[in-house]
Amino acid sequence: MNTSTISICVMTGLFLSVTAFAQDHEKRLKKSDLPAEVQKTADEYSKGATVRGYSKEIENGKPEYEVELTVDGHSKDVNIDETGAVIEIEEQVQLDKLSAPARDGLKNKAGDGKITKVESITKHGKVVAYEAQVLTGSKKTEVQVAPDGKPLDHEE
């Protein structure tokens, strides 16, 4: 085998590995694919909302299910564990509706970038952070702050 043939084989193997990983990382599901307890929680949270989709990911070796919703014109994603317990809710919020410290914290972290979307991150019924999608030139990034606008000890 010559070097170009070996290179093609290696590249094909890498592509297939990455594709397989991506498919295992987040898998789109139908509602009927959800475990019964997860379906029950998804139904509770989707009342009055439009369901955009369901997915499953493995986080720290455990399955997590996500129901993607549109509620009153904004996005709301609910992450649910296999027992039906809510792990986290990410809900789109308006930047100008945040407290001044939270809004200023996000703007400071965004720097010269433009904030294109803001979400609250709720765990155990309490907002633990705000996350902003930032566009700087053609580069997209995300920044997070605590509800009081201060930097987080760790990313949520």
In the predicted structure, residue 77 carries a pLDDT above the cut 50: yes
Tokens 């998804």, located at residue: 42
pLDDT for position 18:
41
pLDDT value for 25: 72
Alpha-carbon distances, residue 104 vs 18, 63, 122, 134, 148 (angstroms):
39, 36, 20, 14, 10
Which residue's entry shows tokens 């700087």?
A: 136
pLDDT at 26: 85
The pLDDT tens digits for 4-47 are: 444 444 444 444 444 344 444 789 999 999 999 999 999 999 99
Domains of the chain listed by start with CATH number: 27-145 (3.10.450.360)
pTM value is 0.81
Average pLDDT across the chain, whole number: 88
C-alpha closest to that of 50 among 31, 69, 34: 69
Reported as a single tens digit per residue, the pLDDT across 97-130 is 999 999 999 999 999 999 999 999 999 999 999 9
pLDDT of 80 above 70: yes
